[in-house]
């Protein structure tokens, strides 16, 4: 079936394919063209059954029984902002389908750390994790109770956490509603190879993969992915064409962050490397090793990407540590794994703040 549609004033003619057909990489061969540190033979710790809220001393607001939708997140943000004065909720931009992109700030410190989740619609579990983290950190700051071995009042007097829990709200809603939330449903079905099953959908509401949209080596992402809108890997007509990425890039340029964590799924892995050298490499690797030890995730020394990714851009442009943390092992149905994800990641931000504060920098 031949499908014709318009994207950013350019007509595309696409031969629709069934969802099982995978996009083949073309052009650049990273293994042959780039040298990377040797990959250690490390395996992630086995996933274990852990009670969802073993440390819960309050009735939590942030809960879900299915896909963690944009509307559910919005309701939770409103409730948490009323409950905790620590939280400052702002809007940094809008998605293609005009959903607000929210930023949550926690803390009063001059040093800033950025976290983001759900660059990809099918990876909505990362938004749920970040919202859970926001609630727990706010609660323990408010009560003054220790969060395990950490004093959040002390840490958040030095640091401010900037959290964008859902970079791609349109993509999340496409997954949650099987595309029915979009005014361009028929076009999305065509982009999705004629399938109405959007479980795997990563892209935004225009069929652009937001984690292929950043300027650093964007041309490699363009060569790797399909030349037209798709459910994943289409890099767009150029870097920074999509409003979601423009908003996040603007935030990076306006603030001077000292570290960046971007949550994805799946893999139980931590990526940090994008051709750093010398003391710069040692610093970033040291932080990644600390996070990998805490979470039990496998530390990956390969770049893990093909250009145009948020991590690539942050590392090369701002020269700060930028970690990709891949959650879980089951993307289609990640919720049963959430207790394990939370147990592994709940102290990550405390660790990062402490690690940076202790001077583990070149």
Average pLDDT of the residues in 7-20: 40
pLDDT value for 59: 82
Average pLDDT of the residues in 18-33: 32
Q: Tens digit of pLDDT for each residue in 47-58?
A: 333 444 445 567
pLDDT value for 304: 64
Respond yes or no on whether the N-terminal peptide bond of residue 266 is cis (omega within 30° of 0): yes
Dist CA 347 CA 4 (whole Å): 48
Average pLDDT of the residues in 334-348: 96
- What pairs with residue 112 in β-bridges? 160, 257
At 99, is the pLDDT very low, low, confident or very high (cuts 50, 70, 90)? very high
Stretch among 32-36, 68-72, 102-106, 274-278 having the lowest mean pLDDT: 32-36
Q: Contacts from 172-175 at CB under 8 Å and sequence distance 24+?
A: 172/67, 172/68, 172/69, 172/70, 172/118, 172/121, 172/124, 172/127, 173/69, 173/70, 173/97, 173/99, 173/121, 174/121, 174/198, 174/201, 174/205, 175/67, 175/121, 175/122, 175/124, 175/199, 175/201
DSSP state of 330: -
Average pLDDT of the residues in 284-288: 97
pLDDT value for 52: 47
Q: Tens digit of pLDDT for each residue in 210-266?
A: 999 999 999 999 999 999 999 999 999 999 999 999 999 999 999 999 999 999 999
Q: Does residue 12 have a pLDDT over 80?
A: no
pLDDT value for 86: 96
Stretch among 63-67, 154-158, 332-336 having the lowest mean pLDDT: 332-336
Q: Does residue 11 have a pLDDT over 60?
A: no
Q: Does residue 345 have a pLDDT over 50?
A: yes
Q: Does residue 327 have a pLDDT over 60?
A: yes
Q: Does residue 24 have a pLDDT over 80?
A: no
Is the Cβ–Cβ distance between 274 and 314 less than 8 Å?
no
The CATH number corresponding to 69-357 among 1.20.1540.10, 3.40.630.10, 3.40.50.970, 3.90.470.20 equals: 3.40.630.10
Domain boundaries, the chain: 69-357
The residue ranges of DSSP E strands in the chain, in sequence order, are 2-7, 10-15, 87-94, 100-107, 111-117, 159-164, 257-264, 269-271, 298-300, 322-326
pLDDT value for 33: 34
Task: Classify 222 as helix, strand or coil.
Answer: helix
Return the closest-CA partner of residue 168 out of 132, 115, 204.
Answer: 204
Q: Does residue 29 have a pLDDT over 80?
A: no
Position of tokens 């803390």? Answer: 107
Type and span of the H or E element at 223: helix 218-224
CA distances from 298 to 24, 41, 43, 155, 248 (A): 26, 9, 6, 27, 27
Average pLDDT of the residues in 184-207: 97
Stated pTM of the model: 0.85
Q: Does residue 98 have a pLDDT over 90?
A: yes
Q: Does residue 347 have a pLDDT over 70?
A: yes
Q: How far is CA 282 from the centre of its chain?
A: 24
Share the mean pLDDT of the chain. 87
Which of the pair, 230 or 43, is modelled with greater confidence? 230
Which of the pair, 43 or 316, is modelled with greater confidence? 316
Helices (H) and strands (E) in the chain, counts: 12, 10
Stretch among 4-8, 95-99, 100-104, 184-188 having the lowest mean pLDDT: 4-8
Dist CA 306 CA 247 (whole Å): 22
């Amino acid at each position: 079936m031949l499908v014709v549609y318009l994207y950013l004033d350019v007509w595309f003619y696409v031969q629709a394919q069934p969802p099982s057909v995978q996009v083949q990489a073309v052009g650049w061969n990273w293994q042959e063209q780039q040298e990377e540190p040797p990959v250690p033979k490390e395996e992630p710790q086995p996933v274990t059954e852990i009670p969802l809220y073993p440390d819960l001393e309050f009735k939590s607001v942030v809960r879900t029984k299915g896909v963690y939708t944009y509307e559910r997140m919005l309701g939770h943000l409103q409730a948490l902002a009323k409950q905790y004065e620590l939280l400052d909720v702002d809007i940094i931009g809008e998605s293609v389908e005009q959903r607000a992109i929210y930023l949550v700030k926690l803390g009063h410190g001059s040093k800033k750390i950025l976290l983001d989740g759900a660059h990809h619609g099918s990876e909505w579990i990362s938004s749920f994790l970040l919202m859970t983290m926001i609630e727990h950190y706010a609660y323990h700051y408010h009560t003054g109770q220790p969060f395990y071995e950490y004093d959040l009042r002390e840490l958040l007097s030095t640091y401010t956490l900037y959290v964008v829990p859902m970079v791609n709200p349109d993509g999340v809603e496409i997954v949650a509603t099987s595309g029915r939330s979009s005014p361009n449903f028929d076009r999305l079905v065509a982009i999705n190879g004629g399938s109405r099953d959007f479980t795997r959908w990563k892209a935004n509401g225009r069929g652009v993969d937001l984690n292929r949209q950043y300027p650093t080596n964007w041309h490699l992402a363009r060569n790797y992915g399909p030349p037209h809108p798709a459910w994943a890997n289409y890099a767009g007509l150029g870097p920074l064409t999509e409003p979601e990425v423009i908003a996040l890039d603007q935030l990076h340029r306006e603030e001077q962050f000292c570290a960046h964590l971007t949550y994805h799924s799946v893999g139980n892995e931590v990526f940090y490397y994008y051709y750093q050298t010398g003391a710069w490499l040692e610093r970033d690797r040291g932080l990644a090793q600390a996070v990998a030890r805490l979470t039990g995730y496998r530390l990956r020394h390969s770049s893990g990407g093909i250009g145009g990714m948020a991590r690539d851009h942050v590392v090369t442009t701002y020269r700060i540590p930028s970690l990709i943390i891949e959650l879980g092992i089951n993307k289609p149905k990640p919720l049963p794994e959430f207790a394990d994800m939370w147990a592994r990641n709940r102290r990550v931000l405390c660790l990062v703040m402490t690690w940076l504060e202790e001077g583990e920098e070149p």
